[in-house]
Amino acid sequence: MNQKRKKILFNAFHMCSPSQQWAGMWGHPDDQGLRYNTLDYYLELAKVAERGLFDSIFFADSIGLMDKYGGDPSEALRAGAMAPMNDPTLAIPAIAMATQGLGFGVTINLTYEHPFIMARRLSTLDHLTRGRVGWNIVAGFVDSGARAIGLDRVQEHDARYDMADEYMEVVYKLLEASWEDDAVLRDRASRIFARPDKVHRIDHAGANFRVSAVHMCEPSPQRTPVLFQAGASTRGRAFAARHAECVFLTSFTKQMARGHVDDIRLRMKDNGRDPGDVAVIVGSTVIVAPTDKEAREKYEAIRPYLDVRGSLSVFSGLAGIDFSKYDPDDPVEYVKNDANRSFIERITILSKGREFRVKDLTAFRADSPTAGVFLVGSPSTVANAMIEWIEETGIDGFNFVRTVEPDGLASIVDLVVPELQNRGYYKTAYGEGAMRNKLFGRGDRLSDAHPGARAARASVRAGK
| Distance, CA of 50 to CA of 11 (rounded, Å) | 10
pTM of the model: 0.94
Q: Which CATH superfamily is domain 9-461 in?
A: Luciferase-like domain (3.20.20.30)
| Dihedral, 237, 241, 247, 253 alpha carbons, nearest 10 | 50
Q: What is the pLDDT of residue 2?
A: 44
| Distance, CA of 203 to CA of 211 (rounded, Å) | 6
| Distance, CA of 416 to CA of 380 (rounded, Å) | 8
Identity (one letter) of the amino acid at 105? G
- In 276-324, alpha helices (H): 292-302, 308-319
Produce one character per residue of 56-75: b if its CB has 16 or more CB atoms within 10 Å, e if not: bbbbbbbbbbbbbbbeebeb
| Distance, CA of 43 to CA of 96 (rounded, Å) | 9
Give Cα separations from 112 to 106, 283, 390 (angstroms). Answer: 16, 27, 37
Beta carbons within 8 Å of 304's beta carbon, 6+ residues apart: none
Cβ–Cβ < 8 Å for 52, 10: yes
Q: Kindly state the DSSP code that residue 275 receives in the 8-state scheme.
A: G
| Distance, CA of 408 to CA of 382 (rounded, Å) | 14
Q: What is the pLDDT of residue 1?
A: 38
Name the residue among 272, 243, 276, 273 with its Cα closest to residue 261.
276
Domain ranges in the chain are: 9-461
Give Cα separations from 344 to 154, 248, 321 (angstroms). Answer: 17, 16, 9
Using a 10 angstrom Cβ sphere, with 0-12 exposed, 13-18 middle and 19 or more buried, the burial of residue 36 is: buried
| Distance, CA of 129 to CA of 141 (rounded, Å) | 29
Q: Which helix (H) or strand (E) holds 387?
A: helix 379-393
DSSP 410-456: HHIIIIIHHHHHHTT-S-SS--SSSHHHHHHSS-SSPPTTSHHHHHH
Produce one character per residue of 394-404: b if its CB has 16 or more CB atoms within 10 Å, e if not: bbbbbbbbbbb
Q: Kindly state the DSSP code that residue 179 receives in the 8-state scheme.
A: B
- In 109-231, alpha helices (H): 115-128, 143-148, 157-172
Q: What is the pLDDT of residue 443?
A: 96
Cβ–Cβ < 8 Å for 68, 8: no
- In 139-291, alpha helices (H): 143-148, 157-172, 234-243, 254-270
Name the residue among 259, 225, 263 with its Cα closest to residue 245.
225
Q: Which residues of the chain have pLDDT under 50?
A: 1-3
Name the residue among 19, 22, 28 with its Cα closest to residue 302.
28
Q: What is the pLDDT of residue 462?
A: 57
